[in-house]
Amino acid sequence: MMEIDEIQALVIEALEDVKAVDTRVLDVRGKTSVTDVMVITSGNTSRQVKALVNSVVEKAKQAGLKPIGVEGEDIGEWALVDLGDVVVHVMQPGIRAFYNLEKLWGEESPQVSGDQQL
């Protein structure tokens, strides 16, 4: 079984392969029992969001880690990959700014330019 830091590194590598934007890693241990680490990142288009999700899923499977669930990749505005101890949120910038998950978990909000807002 992979350790949390190994899963996190795998996720970051998979996201970087597809040029993810503004990736944040949040340690949410003690804040929720759902997961230990959340990775939040952006893709500029629905196509990029889908590609980022596919990259994470493929790298996980290659490492012998089967995702518990994948949701939202069909539309490409906000997708989630549940790897158990690490949950990955991939969103278009406007959606990310609207939901502001970083603030929800007590972190700084991402910087959003005017043309990326909803």
Per residue of the chain (118 residues), what is the pLDDT tens digit? 789 999 999 999 999 999 999 999 998 888 877 888 999 999 999 999 999 999 999 999 999 999 999 999 889 999 999 999 999 999 999 999 999 888 777 765 444 444 443 3
The amino acid that residue 90 corresponds to is V
Q: Is 65 left (phi over 0), alpha (psi -120 to 50) or beta?
A: beta
Boundaries of every domain in the chain: 4-107
Task: Report the chain's terminal Cα–Cα distance, integer Å.
Answer: 40
pLDDT per position as a tens digit, 38-65: 999 999 999 999 999 999 999 999 999 9
Q: Is the pTM of this model over 0.95?
A: no
Residue 113 corresponds to which tokens in the numbers above? 């330019």
CA 47/CA 24 separation, integer angstroms: 21
In the three-class reduction of DSSP (H, G, I as helix; E, B as strand; rest coil), residue 85 is classed as coil
Nearest residue to 72 via CA among 90, 84, 85, 95: 90
Nearest residue to 3 via CA among 84, 88, 90, 105: 84
CA 87/CA 11 separation, integer angstroms: 10
Task: Assign a CATH topology to domain 4-107.
Answer: Beta Polymerase; domain 2 (3.30.460)
